[in-house]
Amino acid sequence: ARRQLDITFRHAAHRDDKLILEIRDYGPGVSQQQCDKLFELFYRGGDELTRTTQGTGIGLALVAQLVKAQQGQITAHQMSPGLALRLTLHTRHTGNEMPEPKVLA
């Protein structure tokens, strides 16, 4: 079965110079209580005995750690129907070009 997925990417230069990625999944969705746990390591949602979802529960936890390491933020919100994820990263403009790499040999 196919379902709709919207992905939006924008650069909010007028508001603290941020990169914002929004993903809206119009599938069956999850409860707000589950949204609060989505970024926990090994969390897969649902009942352990009747679960039909696949995966290890590592993906979103790994994404959350990488975003945090970049001083960013990721959040999940319940939609009706579906789920919305929002990832925000701050850009750092120094005004300088990247230095040329040094040749070691």
* Rounded Cα distance, 8 and 90, in Å: 17
Counting the structural domains of the chain, the total is: 1
pLDDT, tens only, 14-72: 767 889 999 999 988 888 888 888 889 988 776 555 556 677 888 899 999 999 999 99
CATH (domain of 31)? 3.30.565.10
The reply to whether 84 falls in a domain is: yes
* pLDDT higher than 70, residue 105: no
Is 70 exceeded by the pLDDT of residue 76? yes
Residue 38 domain flag: yes
| 21: in domain | yes
**Interatomic CA distance for residues 14 and 89, integer angstroms:** 14
CB of 53 closer than 8 Å to CB of 45: yes
